[in-house]
């Protein structure tokens, strides 16, 4: 077995166990493999080991991998900050955008979505800790923003994505997850298409699942530690 396959098996076990502990149905939490900085070959290995959902943060890097891996059955999620001059490429090559936090970007993505592709799935990124430095809309803006997004043709509102502030305080982290889950529940009551709460990363996936996450985004635990460079062609070949 490759290292990636071993780690994938182990992450899936962790997810299963956390689902059990939380009395949630088996299979209620999806795994998004976050592959930023890793070369196409690493993603290919993960795909051969059964992984289908991949998340990328940087458009240029992603486009190269999407084209290299065009022979595989992969669902691509864009999870990074979105510049307006990049929306055309995102709209043409991704199945999901999880980092939506501006109406102008949403309009562009919708307008630029190619006619022959299915509607684009979107999650709203919520700045759950209300940090001024971070992307994402505040929880007070969420419901009017969701209303706006929901009216845009070619976009399907699927849920929320959150990235809580890194903290050693378990209690603060727990509060952020609980708050996100509460907002998500309210959103599901209003919009039948909403089914995704994207929260939890390598270091906090168990807690996130216990608090209602339906999709964990895992990079490091699957591919290894990232070095600072964007693409790491030497580490896995």
Ligand X SMILES: *Cc1c(COP(=O)(O)O)cnc(C)c1O
Q: Which positions touch ligand X (CB under 6 A)?
A: 34, 36, 57, 79, 163, 201-203, 217-221
Considering beta carbons, is residue 31 or 66 the nearer one to ligand X? 31
Which residues 6+ apart lie within 8 Å of 186 measured at CB?
143
Give the shortest CB-197-to-ligand X separation in angstroms.
Answer: 13
Shortest distance in whole angstroms from residue 137 CB to ligand X? 15
Name the closest residue to ligand X (Cβ).
219
Residue with smaller CB distance to ligand X, 154 or 158? 158
CB of 206 to ligand X, least distance (A): 13
Nearer to ligand X, 154 or 183 (CB): 183
CB of 35 vs ligand X, minimal distance in Å: 9
Q: Which is nearer to ligand X, 139 or 198 (CB)?
A: 198
Cβ–Cβ contacts within 10 Å for residue 67, how many?
Answer: 10
Q: Strand 75-78 vs strand 96-100: parallel, antiparallel, or unpaired?
A: parallel
């Amino acid at each position: 077995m490759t290292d990636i396959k071993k780690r994938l098996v182990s992450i899936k076990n962790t997810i299963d166990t956390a689902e059990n502990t939380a009395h949630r149905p088996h299979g209620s939490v999806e795994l998004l493999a976050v592959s930023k900085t890793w070369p196409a070959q690493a993603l290919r290995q993960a795909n051969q080991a059964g992984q289908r959902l991949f998340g990328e943060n940087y458009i240029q890097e992603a486009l190269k991998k999407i084209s290299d891996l065009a022979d595989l059955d992969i669902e691509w999620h864009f999870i990074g900050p979105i510049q307006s001059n990049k929306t055309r490429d995102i709209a043409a090559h991704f199945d999901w955008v999880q980092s939506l936090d501006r109406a102008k970007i949403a309009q562009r993505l919708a307008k630029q979505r190619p006619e022959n592709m299915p509607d684009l799935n979107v999650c709203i990124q919520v700045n759950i800790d209300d940090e001024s430095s971070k992307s994402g809309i505040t929880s007070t803006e969420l419901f009017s923003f969701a209303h706006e997004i929901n009216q845009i043709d070619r976009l399907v509102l699927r849920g929320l994505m959150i990235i809580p502030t890194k903290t050693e305080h378990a209690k603060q982290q727990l509060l952020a997850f609980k708050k996100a889950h509460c907002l998500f529940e309210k959103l599901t009551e209003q919009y039948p298409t909403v089914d995704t709460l994207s929260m939890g990363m390598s270091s906090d996936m168990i807690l996130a699942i216990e608090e209602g996450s339906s999709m964990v985004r895992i990079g490091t635990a699957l591919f290894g530690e990232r070095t600072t460079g964007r693409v790491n062609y030497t580490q896995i070949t």
